[in-house]
Structure 1
Amino acid sequence: MNFFLETLRVIGLAIYFTLENFFLLFIPVRKKNVTGEIVLITGAGSGIGRLMALKFARLGATLVLWDISVEGNKETARLARKNGAARVHNYTCDCSKRQEVYQVADQVKKEVGDVSILINNAGIVTGKRFLDSPDAMIQKSMEVNTMAHFWTVKAFVPAMVASNHGHVVTISSAAGLVGVTGLADYCASKFAVVGFAESLAIEMLALGKTGVKSTIVCPFFINTGMFDGCKTKWPRFLPVMEPDYAAERIISGILRNQVYVYIPRSITLLVALKGLIPTKLGMLLGDYMGYFHFMETFTGRANKIEDNKSQ
């Protein structure tokens, strides 16, 4: 295709996609049916992971629950059955360990089948200024928050590619879009999974695997205990969200095949501004929004290095 025709094609499609996006603001997108889909959730033993499991249970999905906490995972499985899930399978898995991920993944394939919706949700946080962060916690943050995504995708996405059907859900964070004081290692790990998920989604398109969807979730603080003690300067604009609301928004985004889910929606404005305004103005607004002080009162969960669980 010559330059003129290709440019004309791009302009035409740009106009079409812009109009499509505008009309979709007013016309609800039809939600997909996940009855019978095999949904694997890492970090399912508590928090957002557990709430997503319960919501998928009500939708008729087959659940595969992974967590390092045996008791927490068993409780999620019990609650999922109570909420109507016909098939629930819970596995103990430390997602930071590559060989353990592969071993448990093989077990899932044999006992349950090919996973069609993969939700990478497990995460931990150090919550200290970088120079005060223990080396072990920095390394563990990268292993749980980033590297685990590589291993689960390697384990389960080939089957999605073969059938041209599936969905990879990446639970990142607003801290995967904007740097925050006291979260250097956490931000690094979450920036990394945003880049990974975007690249993976583009690879699927390049392969013509349009049936393999991607959803990248970037929430602000959620009141699950993981960020206990953190305060937001302007709660009307950036509220600390209740877990059920956040889980509902995530599930809704998955069912509508949304590529990005920003919670709250004000995150969208911050992302847009970051690329448009001068750096010094960005720093000024960051201070105004409280980025420099979010973590000053952080307490978090106890025994965080063992808490390879849910967001």
Structure 2
Amino acid sequence: MEPRESKLRPIPAQFPKSFTKPDEPWHHYLTLDLIVYVLSYTLFHPWTCWILVLCLRAQYTPYGNIEMRIAMAWAMLMSGIGIFGIFSDRFAYGRPREVDLSEEVIVITGGVEGLGGLLADTYGMRHANVAVLDTKKVSDEESEERGVLFYQCDVGDAEQVERVAREIVEDLGPPTILINNAGIVRPKSILDTTASDVEQVFRTNTLSHFHTLRTFLPHMLESRRGTIVTISSVLGHLGAAHLSSYAASKAALHALHHSLRAELAQHPHGADIKTILVSPGQMSTKMFEGVKTPSNFLAPVIAPTDVAKEILRLVERGESGEVVMPLYARWISVFGVLPAGVQKVVRRLSGVDTAIQRAGLVKEKMVAAEKSG
């Protein structure tokens, strides 16, 4: 008897690019973020701290002994900090909403590649209703393979967003989760940046958020549930040489996010519409490929998977919040209150203003003119 042919469609497999790169030395993977992560589940975790107290009691350590007092005081301190954090988040963001992916309609801008593509593929594999808006055209075969509907659309154009929104409502239903991820960068000095460059960056990075919010937010308010994810950047707090338009467009998103939260708090149907602000440091995507941080220990390049994991966690828990990583990015707002001289030293040591130029991503007319003169 001849074997029957398999009806399963073969899917080509390709190893991630990391497999083609040479192995780094062991200390390359040792970062401040990793150390803090381990400590957060050991020395700084209330459960672990109380286990230590129980272990001391199991050895019949008297309560009056100095080691028992220190262990109990530390456990109570960690418990107090943990409880305060829970109440602080509940007071700031309210109760989480119920999220059932089978009933959600997810819209992702700029979701063909990079972080947006990773989020789209993850939801597609879980059979969620996903609509991706991107200027890149995707074939029907690839769309079916990824389990995602792709709509060719320039999100910087309000009319195109409104047109595609009507198609999404007809194909999938009213959107309930909006992930504003689309972004571009034009690495040039301010004097070399044209009006067209600035307009294009702001249209894609900033104005697109206004277009999608005006278009999709009414559906969420009508159904009284939703989640809005705003993808910004740590450069929105810092600024950087040769990235003026990009940094300015991302800084605007921080203000937009806080304004959105304030308006939703005043709207009678806005209680169950959650907001998430994402401000990552440098990610290992094509946008800043070749840019190196001054210290892999203090400022590691983060993988898009790590950022995506945190976004997915908050979205699926139905919570509001912020995704800020790596560790230094959480304290970047403190940078602005430092003395001006200290700020200058920190910027020079960090190399934030020279990283783009060292990576060879800047197209400078001024430098060429000076050399020729």
Hey, what's the Cα distance between the residues in 2 that align with 1:167 and 1:139?
28
**CA gap 1:76/1:151 in 2 versus in 1, 3 angstroms:** farther
Hey, what's the Cα distance between the residues in 1 that align with 2:145 and 2:309?
17
Q: Unmatched 5+ residue regions in structure 1?
A: 1-15, 82-87, 302-311
Q: SS at 1:95's partner residue? A: coil
Contact conserved, 2:97 with 2:225, CA < 8 A, in 1? no
Q: Which amino acid is 2:118 matched to?
A: L
Hey, what's the Cα distance between the residues in 2 that align with 1:293 and 1:192?
23
Contact conserved, 1:227 with 1:299, CA < 8 A, in 2? no
Give the aligned partner of residue 227 of structure 1: 288
Identity %: 29
Q: SS at 2:191's partner residue? A: helix
> In structure 1, which of residues 60, 66, 80 is the aligned counterpart of residue 146 of structure 2?
80
Contact conserved, 2:307 with 2:323, CA < 8 A, in 1? no
**CA gap 1:157/1:30 in 2 versus in 1, 3 angstroms:** closer
Q: Which amino acid is 2:212 matched to?
A: T
- 1:121 and 2:187 equivalent? no
Give the aligned partner of residue 103 of structure 1: 163
Q: Which amino acid is 1:65 matched to?
A: V
- Stretch of structure 1 that moved more, 150-159 or 103-112: 103-112
**CA gap 1:66/1:30 in 2 versus in 1, 3 angstroms:** closer
Give the aligned partner of residue 12 of structure 1: none
Hey, what's the Cα distance between the residues in 1 that align with 2:182 and 2:109?
5
Total equivalences in the alignment: 275
What TM-score does the superposition give when structure 2 sets the normalisation length? 0.68
Q: SS at 1:21's partner residue? A: helix
Which structure has the greater CA radius of gyration? 2
Hey, what's the Cα distance between the residues in 1 that align with 2:227 and 2:343?
34
**CA gap 1:294/1:75 in 2 versus in 1, 3 angstroms:** farther
- Stretch of structure 1 that moved more, 127-136 or 186-195: 127-136
Contact conserved, 2:97 with 2:272, CA < 8 A, in 1? no
**CA gap 1:206/1:94 in 2 versus in 1, 3 angstroms:** same
Contact conserved, 2:188 with 2:243, CA < 8 A, in 1? yes
Give the aligned partner of residue 353 of structure 2: 292
Give the aligned partner of residue 310 of structure 2: 249
Hey, what's the Cα distance between the residues in 2 that align with 1:286 and 1:75?
47
Contact conserved, 1:129 with 1:184, CA < 8 A, in 2? yes
Give the aligned partner of residue 142 of structure 1: 202
Matched ranges for 1:10-25 at <5 A: 19-21=83-85
Matched ranges for 1:1-311 at <5 A: 19-21=83-85, 32-71=99-138, 77-81=143-147, 88-208=148-268, 209-256=270-317, 257-271=319-333, 273-299=334-360
Q: Unmatched 5+ residue regions in structure 2?
A: 1-79, 90-95, 363-373
Give the aligned partner of residue 13 of structure 1: none
Residues 25-49 of structure 1: CA deviation (Å, up to 9, x unaligned) = 9xxx999543331000011111111
**CA gap 1:161/1:31 in 2 versus in 1, 3 angstroms:** closer
Q: Which amino acid is 1:210 matched to?
A: A
Hey, what's the Cα distance between the residues in 2 that align with 1:149 and 1:30?
23
Hey, what's the Cα distance between the residues in 1 that align with 2:109 and 2:291?
24
Q: SS at 1:215's partner residue? A: strand
Q: Which amino acid is 2:84 matched to?
A: E
Runs of 4+ in structure 1 deviating by more than 3 angstroms, as ranges, are 16-20, 22-25, 29-33, 73-76, 298-301
What TM-score does the superposition give when structure 1 sets the normalisation length? 0.80
Contact conserved, 1:127 with 1:182, CA < 8 A, in 2? yes
**CA gap 1:290/1:119 in 2 versus in 1, 3 angstroms:** same
Hey, what's the Cα distance between the residues in 1 that align with 2:242 and 2:202?
16
Post-superposition shift, 1:210? 1.3
